[in-house]
């Protein structure tokens, strides 16, 4: 009887993957590659610590798209689960996902903090906008997220369900599961989101008052456009990632529920928020195109030279 109610959710999930996630995958690949080309081709971007963070974020987003979204599309769109075919991929897939997700969010958070310092009226704060410091910080946080990814490799394993005799790739350590719910999704991930929002609006306030300060015109316009770019992306990420975090918390908390229909509903909600989460990988390039004239000009230059 339960299969009658569960089947429509599986069909709907497959339709979402085919008609929503596949276009998102294509958009992410195109947008991510163009982001890297543009940020690396313009000298003013290469010398900007904020643009450096956005460049690394684009690399993380491409990694998440190719390494994780592609696997998700193959699993739910075409019934090919690489995580079940290989225990190694079951383990490494989830470790890679947390490194790319956390790295991307961290780089956006650092970019918006950087713009707050860059647009500050306090000269000693502006000194924190340094490309060498940006490289050190991204290296440090990358190491931190890689270390955080190690338990994923350890505690994700193949589990055979005694009732259905099917194999799944799941966490086998209850303590680590609790850390994911309350430590990662509730505290770390949401903290990065709210820090980004707060510094984003403060940077935007500073940028609006740049005309009253003695700042070179080129630097002033670059800071204004970078501030708008990161602020809009922060708002998009907030609307996308917060529901994803909430859904993941509910999935982990209710994993022991014995009601298969409820499990199907909560799993479907998680898959929908996950599909929208991947917009955070696809949207940056198109956001920058819409809000930054300099970015559009550099796209034309990179396209026709």
Is the distance from CB of 235 to CB of 290 less than 8 angstroms?
no
Location of structure tokens 């809000």? 291
Task: Provide DSSP, 15-28.
Answer: HHIIIIIHHHHHHH
Domain spans, the chain: 1-304
User: CA-to-CA distance for 51 and 57, rounded, in angstroms?
Assistant: 10
CATH superfamily, domain at 1-304: Rhodopsin 7-helix transmembrane proteins (1.20.1070.10)
Q: DSSP character for 121? A: S
In angstroms, rounded to a whole number, what is the distance separating the alpha carbons of residues 244 and 58?
A: 20
What string of DSSP letters covers 83-131?
Answer: HHH-HHHHHHHHHHHHHHHHHHHHHHHHHHHHHHHHT-S-HHHHTT--H
The DSSP 8-state label assigned to residue 210 in this structure reads: G
> How far is residue 66's CA from residue 69's CA, in Å, rounded to a whole number?
6
How confident is the prediction along the chain (305 residues), in pLDDT tens digits per residue?
556 767 787 888 889 999 999 999 999 999 999 999 999 888 878 888 999 999 999 999 999 999 999 999 999 889 888 888 888 888 899 899 999 999 999 999 999 999 999 888 787 888 888 899 999 999 999 999 999 999 999 999 888 766 566 788 888 888 998 898 889 988 999 999 999 999 999 998 888 876 555 555 556 677 788 899 999 999 999 999 999 999 888 888 877 777 777 788 888 888 899 999 999 999 999 999 999 888 888 888 777 66
């Amino acid at each position: 009887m339960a299969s009658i109610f569960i089947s429509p959710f599986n069909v709907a999930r497959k339709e979402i993957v085919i008609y929503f996630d596949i276009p998102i995958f294509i958009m992410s690949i195109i947008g991510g590659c163009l982001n890297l080309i543009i940020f690396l081709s313009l000298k003013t971007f290469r010398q900007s610590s904020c643009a450096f963070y956005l460049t690394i974020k684009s690399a993380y987003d491409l990694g998440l798209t190719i390494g994780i979204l592609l696997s998700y599309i193959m699993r739910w769109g075409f019934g090919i689960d690489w995580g079940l075919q290989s225990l190694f991929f079951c383990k490494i897939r989830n470790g890679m996902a947390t490194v790319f997700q956390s790295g991307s969010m961290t780089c956006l958070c650092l970019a918006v903090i950087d713009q707050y310092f860059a647009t500050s009226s306090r000269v000693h704060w502006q000194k924190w906008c340094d490309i060498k410091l940006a490289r050190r910080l991204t290296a440090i946080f990358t190491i931190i997220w890689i270390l955080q990814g190690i338990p994923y490799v350890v505690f994700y394993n193949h589990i055979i369900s005694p009732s259905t005799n099917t194999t799944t790739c799941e966490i086998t350590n209850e303590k680590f599961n609790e850390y994911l719910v309350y430590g990662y999704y509730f505290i770390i991930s949401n903290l990065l989101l709210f820090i980004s929002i707060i510094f984003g609006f403060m940077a935007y306030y500073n940028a609006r008052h740049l005309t009253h300060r003695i700042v070179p015109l080129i630097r002033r316009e670059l800071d204004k456009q970078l501030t708008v770019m990161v602020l809009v992306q922060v708002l998009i990420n907030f609307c996308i990632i917060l529901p994803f975090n909430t859904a993941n918390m509910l999935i982990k908390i209710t994993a022991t529920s014995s009601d298969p229909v409820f499990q199907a509903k909560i799993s479907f909600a998680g898959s929908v928020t996950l599909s929208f989460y991947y917009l955070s990988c696809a949207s940056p390039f198109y956001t920058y195109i819409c809000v930054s004239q300099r970015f559009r000009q550099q796209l034309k230059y990179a396209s026709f030279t």
